[in-house]
Amino acid sequence: MSAPLKRALGVCYYPEHWPEDMWAKDAARMVSAGITWVRIGEFAWSRMEPEPGRFTFDWLDRAIDVLASAGLKIVLGTPTCTPPRWMLDRFPDMLAVDALGRTRNFGSRRHYCFSHAGYRKASAAIADVLGRRYGQDPHIHAWQLDNEYGCHDTVLSYSEAARLAFQDWLATRYGTIDALNTAWGNVFWSMEYESFAQVDLPNLTVTEPNPSHALAFRRFSSDQVVAYHMAQVDALRAHTDAPLIHNYMGRVLDFDHFEVGRSIEIASWDSYPIGFLSDRLEATPAHKSRYLQQGDPDMQAFHHDLYRAVGKNGRWWVMEQQPGPVNWAPHNPAPLPGMVRLWTWEAFAHGAEVVSYFRWRQAPFAQEQMHSGLLRPDDAAAPGLAEAEAVATEISAMPEVSVQQAQVALIFDYPSEWAWATLPQGAGFTYFGLMLDAYRALRKRGLSVDILPSTTSDLSGYRLVLVPGLATLPDSLRHALGQTTALVGPRSNCVTEELTIPTPMGPGLPGLDVTVTRVESLSPGAHRTVPGIGVMQHWVETLEGSAQVTLQDADGAALVVSSGALSYLGGWPDAALWDHLIADAAARCGIETRQMPEGLRCRETKTHRFYFNYGDAPCEFDGLTLPAAGVAWVAI
């Protein structure tokens, strides 16, 4: 990795879906479009091993040969997210079970429980077989392990395998059942256990289970994903030095991506801006309507910055980039002309090495037959292809992956997502929503942002750090906060890792005498007003202590308290109040900000400032005029 990393385009390709005589033409056309990388194999288990133990790799050998001969670099995927039907004959109990107790059957994909030891071993075995065969193949430039862990809500499984594994996990974590009873407060409602074997999974209880029980199950479930993943990592590491990748799905938060990311070289994710806007984002109808054909202006950037943090040394890709209408959202409009280019450039501006389109040619069959590709099912070019080609030309003039550390950081923590999903206290309170609001507020002030894990212990490079909603603040991060200007809260460091309330109560910040003595969740439409500035909505806290009140509501109640560079925020601000807070904090730490026009965003690399117009009308800024869906950049 001494040579500087280069920007490149890729594409997802399924040779097994097409007659072999199309492959060479496809490969040539990819190359001619400026595509460098091609991902294959991740759904093809039934073609690699049509019967248990009978391997048929000849077609794959030929596909690799054809693609590599055309000059393409190959990412080879392990096909473990799609076990063939015969696997169920070996492991009839390998299927996951949903929270309502229903087995999740064969007939689509991801039909396995992460806790099933037999299937885990079988997954490692196919990875081993592939590693042995292709681990030293010079055409295989990277490996993808499984695909989209957790997609379709597959992390939390209530199977018998999960129940037994959970009991083992608890025994390891707590040592004795008394320790567990104490940690969870099981004396409440006489929920005390006499042995680990009595602890069931926390589903189908009469009313909600103990939050500590539920959070433990979530921690366990994440750990099971990591353990499942490691079995494949170990299998492949024995055979190859090529980088390992896992391909994450947007807003899948049920396992700890940082933990999975530890063992691989590259983090990749799947960017479907229009699908996400329709399906995975809380927003007003007006917002959803405004960005119907563009996607939310911050959702992709947030994930880009997140996966830059997940990837080792900041290496990350977009493995699947939406190239046109998709099939899976409630509504599936087409991108505005220009958006495919915009999305691609935005990823590069955030440091992506590769942006890979999903998929080369739209499949004429099965679940995703209405999912666009760069080509239509009849092999004609779809509109996305020309935009990809334009980017290919453009990156050849600006080839280097260029990242510089941002001035601002945002701490992101998966266990906090689980904690507040377990104990929202107010309908609609989500950690992700709070994080995205904070991130959006930074972006609307024109700032580039680094996302950091809660294990971060050095913030010295940052001028401003935001820590909203971090359930439990690690000591290392607490110490690091002293190195910078920091805005912590709301709902930060208010519970222990067991999801109980500590004494003294939070947030327990160094040098800041404030205690959150009461919290309130507010119904839609209710809020506390900061006259002339904005409101707190959803969530508001009562702050007590001697710290200086630096923001208060109309009744004089403290909303922000500060001591030096450290502030605590006691509520969930609306956009206007967020903007005030960010502008103010930035000013205090010497960061220049501007209010960006609606829909316009910018991002700085080492060498350029990029502008992205998510609006459907032209936009003027910094002396530039960007058309609808336009991208611009200036050297800095």
Per the annotation, does 328 bind a ligand?
A: yes
- Any contact of residue 282 with a copy of itself (CB under 8 A)? no
3-state secondary structure of 202: coil
In the set 31, 117, 125, 191, which binds a copy of itself (CB under 8 A)? Answer: 191
Give least dist CB 183 to a copy of itself, A: 9
Enclosing H/E stretch for 559: strand 558-563
103 binds a copy of itself (CB under 8 A): yes
Tokens of 154: 């597959």
| Catalytic residue list contains 42 | no
Give the count of residues interacting with a copy of itself (CB under 8 A): 109
Active site residue 51: no
Residue among 206 and 397 whose Cβ is closer to a copy of itself: 206
Q: Does 90 bind a copy of itself (CB under 8 A)?
A: no
Shortest Å, Cβ 51 to a copy of itself: 7
Residue closer to a copy of itself (CB basis): 132 or 152: 152
CB-facing half-sphere around the CA of 473: CA atoms within 13 A: 24
Contact between 386 and a copy of itself per CB under 8 A: no
367 contributes a contact to a copy of itself by CB under 8 A: yes
HSE (side-chain half, CA atoms, 13 Å) at 477: 23
| Helix axes of 431-443 and 575-588: crossing angle, nearest 10 degrees | 60
Question: Residue 242 — left, alpha, or beta (φ > 0 → left; ψ -120 to 50 → alpha)?
Answer: beta
Side-by-side strand order, sheet with 485-488: 449-453, 408-412, 464-467, 485-488, 566-569, 558-563, 548-552
Report the C-alpha gap between 426 and 283 in whole angstroms: 17
- How distant is the alpha carbon of residue 236 from its chain centre? 24
Footprint on residues 215-274 left by a copy of itself (CB under 8 A): none
Query: Scanning residues 560 to 589, which ones bind a copy of itself (CB under 8 A)?
Result: none
Q: Is 147 annotated as belonging to a binding site? A: yes
3-state SS assignment for residue 10:
strand
The answer to whether 100 and 203 have CB atoms below 8 angstroms apart is yes
Position 365 contacts a copy of itself (CB under 8 A): yes
* Residue of 190, 393, 460, 546 that binds a copy of itself (CB under 8 A): 190
Work out how close the CB of 583 gets to a copy of itself at its nearest, in angstroms, rounded to a whole number: 29
Kindly report the backbone phi and psi dihedral angles of residue 594, in degrees, each rounded to the nearest multiple of 5, phi listed first. -135, 150
> Both tokens of residue 102?
């229903």
Instruction: Pick out residues in 142-171 that bind a copy of itself (CB under 8 A).
Output: 151-152, 154
CA gap 524, 559 in Å, rounded: 19
Alpha-carbon distance of 274 to 332, in angstroms, equals 7
Binders in 36-65 for a copy of itself, by CB under 8 A: 43-47, 50-51
Gap between the Cα atoms of 518 and 111, Å rounded: 44
Annotated binding-site residue? 493: no
For a copy of itself, the binding residues in 444-503 under the rule CB under 8 A are 498, 500-503
Residue 208 is a binding residue for a copy of itself (CB under 8 A): yes
Judged by CB under 8 A, does residue 372 bind a copy of itself? yes
Q: Please, how many CA atoms are within 13 Å of residue 417, restricted to the half-sphere of its CB?
A: 20
Catalytic residue among 42, 49, 320, 346: 320
User: 170 by DSSP, 3-state: which?
Assistant: helix
CB of 234 to a copy of itself, least distance (A): 23
What DSSP state is assigned to residue 351? T
Among 288, 478, 580, 588, binds a copy of itself (CB under 8 A): 288
Residues 305-324 that bind a copy of itself (CB under 8 A): 324
The catalytic position among 148, 389, 498, 541 is: 148
The reply to whether 109 sits in an annotated binding site is: yes
- Minimum separation from the CB atom of position 584 to a copy of itself (A): 27
Q: What is the 3-state secondary structure (H, E, C) of 509-538?
A: ECCEEEEEEEEEECCCCCEEEECCCEEEEE
CB atoms within 10 A of CB 364: 10
Least distance from a copy of itself to the Cβ atom of residue 157, Å: 11
Closest CA to 590 of 447, 388, 473, 493: 447
To the nearest whole angstrom, how small is the minimum distance from the Cβ of residue 480 to a copy of itself?
26
Per-residue binding string, a copy of itself, 4-33, x by CB under 8 A, is: ----------x-xx----------------
| DSSP 8-state class, residue 83 | -
Under rule CB under 8 A, which residues in 500-559 are in contact with a copy of itself? 500-505, 515, 517-523, 525-526, 542
Residues with active-site annotation:
148, 320
Binding annotation for substrate: 109, 147, 328
Positions at the binding site for Zn(2+): 113
